[in-house]
Each structure stands twice: as structure tokens, then as C-alpha cells.
Amino acid sequence: MTIAIKVRRLPHAQGLPLPSYATAGAAGMDLLAAVTDTVTIAPQQRALIPTGLTIALPPGYELQIRPRSGLALKHGITLPNTPGTIDEDYRGEIQVIVLNAGQAPFIVARGDRIAQAVLAPVSRAGWQEVESLDETVRSTGGFGSTGTGSVTEA
């Protein structure tokens, strides 16, 4: 199923392709850097990278912004607020917070694939206040309560 997304290209994105899927089975579309000059991100630093795009999502959808696995593995590049969320009512430019968790400076050039975007349906919660909750085996066990050791073969 294809969901139409209205997109407006800002002047600094002229000449760059719109986000697209790299393969027929890809879940994410590549987002490109719409920088006018290269941006160098030092190790352990972050930068806000523009895409030059504004969008209007249909009601009931969000656009999740996620890291690209190749950049993470090869260069330590990730997104600190992953997944980032573009809400259906946001009309500003899509920008990506890029974090260099690697050991060498990372250069972002115009047109570089910096992140991926995944269109996802949104479910709305309706809180129902109650006096008690049903019991479970885990109950109130929190961080590490299910164990930290390895699982052995059966």
C-alpha cells in the first residue's frame, strides 16, 4: 500500500532527489543532507543537518527518523533521539540530529544519505484510571529483573 505524503522542497534542497527506498523491500527511505557547505562533526559531537524538505503527513501517521546501520557500523554515526518523530501536524523543515560516536571526524557533504525515514501508523491512547492492576509473574520487577546472564541451549 502506498500512502501519499505532500512534500515541499526548500531552496537549499533544489537539485537533490526526494527521499526514496533503496530496494523494493526496504522499510526506510533515505534522507539526504541539504547542506550548502560540508559539515565536519568531531568525535563525541553532534550537528543538526537539514534535509531541505517540509511535509504534510496524512492524519494518523508519523514519520520516524532512524540511523543508517552502515554509518553506525563503519563510522560510529547515530542519531541521539532515535527514533525521532515527525508528527502529522509539523510543517517545519525536517532536520536530523547526527551524533559522531566514532573516533574520527565525520564529514557530511551535500547529498549524503544521513538517516532513514519510516512511515508508521499512530495509535492514540485513552487513559483509563483504575484502583488496581492485574497480577503478573514479573509484577513490579524493573531493570535487570529478568536476569543478566546468558541463556544456555536446551
Q: Which tens digits make up the pLDDT trace of 128-144?
A: 999 999 998 888 877 77
Task: Assess contact for 29 and 94: CB atoms under 8 A.
Answer: no
Q: Is residue 148 part of a domain?
A: no
Q: What is the CATH number of the domain that holds 28?
A: 2.70.40.10
Q: Say what the pLDDT of residue 60 is.
A: 97
Q: Is residue 134 part of a domain?
A: no
What's the pTM value of the predicted model, to 2 decimals? 0.87
Distance CA 67, CA 131 (A): 41
Q: Is residue 93 part of a domain?
A: yes
Residue numbers of the chain with a pLDDT score lower than 50: none
Structural domain total, the chain: 1
Q: Is residue 105 part of a domain?
A: yes
Q: Is residue 15 part of a domain?
A: yes
Q: Is residue 137 part of a domain?
A: no
Q: How many helices (H) and strands (E) does the chain have?
A: 1, 12
What is the span of the domain harbouring residue 72?
A: 6-121
Residues 95, 81, 6, 16, CA torsion sign: positive
Q: Is residue 136 part of a domain?
A: no
- State whether residue 66 is helix, strand or coil: strand
Please state the separation of Cα 24 from the chain's center in Å.
Answer: 20
Q: Say what the pLDDT of residue 137 is.
A: 85
Q: How many CB atoms lie within 10 A of CB 46?
A: 15
Question: Residue 18 burial by CB count (10 A; 0-12/13-18/19+): exposed, middle or buried?
Answer: middle
Nearest to 29 by CA among 108, 101, 106, 96: 96
Q: Is residue 153 part of a domain?
A: no
95 — phi, psi (to 5°)? -130, 150
118 bridge partner residues: 64
